[in-house]
Chain A
Amino acid sequence: MAEQTATRQITVPLMADLAAKGEEPEILFWVGCAGAFDDRYKRVTRAFVRILEHVGVKYAVLGMEETCTGDPAKRAGNEFLFQMQAMQNITTFEGYGVKKIVTACPHCFNTIKNEYPALGGNYEVIHHSTFLQQLINEGRVGMAGGGEFKGQRITFHDSCYLGRSNNIYEAPRDVLAALDADLVEMKRSKANGLCCGAGGAQMWKEPEPGKKDINVERTEEALAALDGNAAALASLNGVESGNAGATPAPRNGQQSSIIAVSCPFCMTMMSDGVKNKERENNVQVFDIAELIATAEGLG
């Protein structure tokens, strides 16, 4: 870990201020509603900004000019509201001549990248996992070699809108690999990953009647992987032979370990799942950006 000499206060640059000075940032950091309002995910936003400041990327945010991408409305069937939101955002982007957008939310990422072009908004859109992967590959972060997380057991939960929706599986894993941790895979991972239960606007409603909540099912799987508990895995409903990887080596369930996520809704669902299973004492849920910021000692 690099030596800390001092801390510096960050003034997050706004698009409007840069434009007033006639400047253009390299990237627009799209914060997203969860990143701006959800107390837990605000910490991820702040961690990501620390990384941006640390590596010296010229970035800016929209601040109060940002508005929902319309993803939850679209998945819930409200195409009209989605398009109203989309047009409003596209107008803002066009006004600033935005070219490159980075976001920590897979839903915003998918919507802006895949669904805005049909409405006239064409941008290079990058999820923060890919962005961090690039920084690591370029040697701009991750030089500290993980330190803090060396040997810690971490399992990565794939977000549907990053993974299956956009085929991004390796970027977040590469980022975690920089931590020098003990990475284990869940039985259902990558293309076979199980949803956390929040997508498709489920985040805003109660689940339909059933036997179990989806986030509990997924958390049980994550805990089984972290504990290397084969019996617990076998009892999970959807794990059929043929799509299952190896079971991680068994170990004491009391050792502390981490579920890594890269989506604000997965964060909420997995954190609630860990609470439900009463494992908050030794299992924590972190976004990959938080792990990198901590490993780099960025505070």
Chain B
Amino acid sequence: MLVAVAGFGLFAWQARKIRANILVGRDRDMSGNVSERLSKTLLVAFGQQKMFKRLTPAFLHLIVYVGFIVINVEVIEIMIDGLFGTHRVLSFLGPLYSLLVGANEILGALVIVAVVAFWWRRNVGVVRRFTGPELRMWPKLDANIILYVEVILMVALYTMNSADLKLHQLEGVELPGAYPISSLLTGLLPANVAVLHGLERLGWWAHIVGILLFLNYLPSSKHFHIIMAFPNVYYSRLVPQGQFSNVDSITHEVKAMMDPSYQVPPPATNPDGSVAAPTPFGAKDVDDLAWTTLLNSYSCTECGRCTAVCPANITGKLLSPRKIIMDTRDRVEEKYNAPLIFQPNLYGTEAKHAETEVLSKENHTLLRGYVTPEELWACTTCNACVEACPVNINPLESIIEMRRFLVLEESAAPNSLNVMFSNIENNGAPWAFSPSDRFNWADELFVAEKA
């Protein structure tokens, strides 16, 4: 009981801090379109639609996902048993209970197989997307911890079930439920009632404590996606991927330039009535990003599907869309609330600033402190990362926001792009052609006439 309260309480406390972190982002109205959003959530989050672009991991992941959901029913039972001192309280379900427990046992075994395959792909087979500078240190360890914990939880489940089964066998009583795997394991256990009892309790405690610890581990981990994927997909963009956001303050400015009678809306005010400081164009730090982008960063599974399809990354450029998302989460936790286990992943510090340079929390901003202009300028805005992400994260949006800051606030575009800008301004085309030649293509144009 106490354990449960502590476990859930701690999680609630962590969840509140994360909510606060996400809300430092800029406002963006995501209300409306409820049915479209719900069906998207159903397909992409519950239905794992986008996972099936790659079949092998999709199946492995599906096993763990279904296993997780079904085994959670047993976890509910374990909790109730623990709180009320009952034993296998759901066994009144009869054949349904057998089905449930039996399915659990088989799924548990499949989960172990899948986890071993995952571990292999990650550590031995080395799928390219599990490499890269952002997957060193904590993120790499984190990925493996999750796999180990999953195995421990499954082993605990089998320990509990097989000990319980053997106890009942020794007593000559039938244990409700079906145990296709545990019944194979009973032979391994000693025929001592006290030891069996201890083992059963050990498995039980390991499972319940393990789950509660794991729950509280989530906020420090990429495994948080098992919760955050759902709101994240719900709040994902519904417009065509090619449609970039509009900057309203610039619209007012441009309209006022073109039409002097245009009424610019009054600037935003603070709660005390004073005029609020204008928000910068684009993003320099995490609080300049939309709250949905911060929600994105908490949903990222660090799977690297985005980076694996990024044309810039494939051809050896520094840009990795996954890194930008991971940087965003690290930065928001560095600047605001940190979870229980936190260590910003300052991989490749060398690439960002001189080692001698001491950066305070204030000027260690997302742009430059974590993400370099070199990464940002390598993006072709191709949307491959957006398309690939199984939980509908949009790395491109942050890239554009940071480019806006570089160009509009710092005038720090690469020189060739400044040339392009002035060509558009002066000639109405990105190249240095004379506008008066614009219609020359139509000269001396013939078409064959048909009989």
Q: Which residues of A contact B (CB under 8 A)?
A: 2-10, 12, 31, 33, 35-38, 42, 45-46, 49-50, 53-54, 61, 63-64, 66-68, 70, 72-81, 83-85, 87, 91, 110, 114-115, 118-119, 160-161, 164-167, 188, 191-195, 197-214, 216-218, 237-238, 240-243, 297-299
Most central of A49, A67, A165, A209 by chain B CB within 10 Å: A165
Contacts of A64 in B (CB 8 A): 435-436, 438-439
Q: Please judge, given known A-B contacts A66-B438, A70-B424, A210-B312, whether A79 and B377 are in contact too, CB under 8 Å.
A: no
| Most A Cβ at <10 Å: residue of B413, B429, B441 | B441
The answer to whether B382 and A33 touch across the interface, beta carbons within 8 angstroms, is no
Which residues of chain A come closer than 8 Å to B244, judged between CB atoms? 74-75, 115
A74 to B407, CA, bound (A): 10
* A33-B430, A242-B55, A299-B447 known, 9 other contacts, Cβ within 8 Å: A2-B451, A9-B446, A45-B441, A64-B439, A167-B240, A208-B377, A238-B308, A238-B309, A299-B448
Chain A-chain B contacts (Cβ-Cβ < 8 Å), number: 278
Closest to B318 in A: A208
* Chain A to chain B contacts (Cβ below 8 Å), 22 pairs: A4-B449, A35-B441, A63-B439, A63-B442, A67-B429, A68-B430, A70-B424, A72-B424, A74-B244, A77-B407, A79-B282, A84-B254, A84-B257, A87-B258, A91-B258, A164-B382, A164-B384, A209-B316, A209-B317, A212-B315, A242-B54, A242-B57
Is B123's CB within 8 Å of the partner chain A? no
Q: Chain A's nearest CB lies how many Å from the CB of B360?
A: 27
- A12–B442 CB distance below 8 A: yes
Q: How far, in angstroms, from A8 to B440 measured CA to CA in the complex? A: 18
Q: Which residues of A contact B408 (CB under 8 A)?
A: 77-80
Which residues of A lie under 8 Å from residue B48 when comparing CB positions? none
B440 surroundings in chain A (CB, below 8 A): 36
Contact of B54 among A216, A240, A299 (CB under 8 A): A240
B365-414 contacts to A, CB under 8 A, are 374, 377-384, 386-387, 400, 402-408, 413-414
List, in ascending order, chain B residues with CB within 8 A of A297's CB.
448
Q: Closest residue to B399 on the A side, CB-wise?
A: A200
**Smallest distance from the beta carbon of A106 to chain B beta carbons, Å?**
8
Say if the beta carbon of B281 comes within 8 Å of chain A. yes
Q: Are A119 and B317 in contact (CB under 8 A)?
A: no
The listed residue (B254, B387, B421, B430) touching A164 by CB distance below 8 A is: B387
Interface centre among A192, A208, A211 (most CB of B within 10 A): A208
Shortest beta-carbon distance, B420 to chain A, in Å?
4
Contact B128 A3 (CB under 8 A): no
Tell me if A77 and B441 are in contact (CB < 8 A). no
Bound Cα distance from A213 to B428, whole angstroms: 29
Residues of B with Cβ closer than 8 Å to A? 53-58, 127-129, 239-244, 246-247, 250-251, 253-255, 257-258, 281-282, 308-309, 311-312, 314-319, 374, 377-384, 386-387, 400, 402-408, 413-414, 416-417, 419-421, 424-425, 428-431, 433, 435-442, 444-451
Q: Which of B242, B421, B442 contacts A165 (CB 8 A)?
A: B242
Q: Given A8-B447, A198-B380, A205-B414: A83 and B251 within 8 A (CB)?
A: yes
Cβ distance B3 to chain A, nearest Cβ, rounded Å: 42
| Cβ-defined contact, B417 with A76, below 8 A | yes
Is the beta-carbon distance between B441 and A31 smaller than 8 angstroms?
Answer: yes
How far is A61 from B439 in the complex, measured between Cα atoms in Å? 9
Q: Which of B250, B312, B429 contacts A79 (CB 8 A)?
A: B250
A residues in contact with B57, CB < 8 Å: 242
Task: Report yes or no: B53 in contact with A77, Cβ–Cβ below 8 A.
Answer: no
A5→B312 contact, CB < 8 A: no
Which residue of the partner chain, among B253, B382, B417, contacts A80 with CB atoms under 8 Å? B253
Instruction: Give bound CA distance, A36 to B438, whole Å.
Output: 6
Q: Quick check: B449 and A110 within 8 Å, CB to CB?
A: no
How distant is the Cα of A211 from the Cα of B318 in the complex, in angstroms?
10
Contact of A161 among B242, B318, B377, B386 (CB under 8 A): B242
Q: A299 — which chain B residues lie within 8 A by C-beta?
A: 446-448
Closest B residue, CB atoms, query A203: B430
Asked if B380 and A72 make an inter-chain contact with CB atoms under 8 angstroms apart, the answer reads no
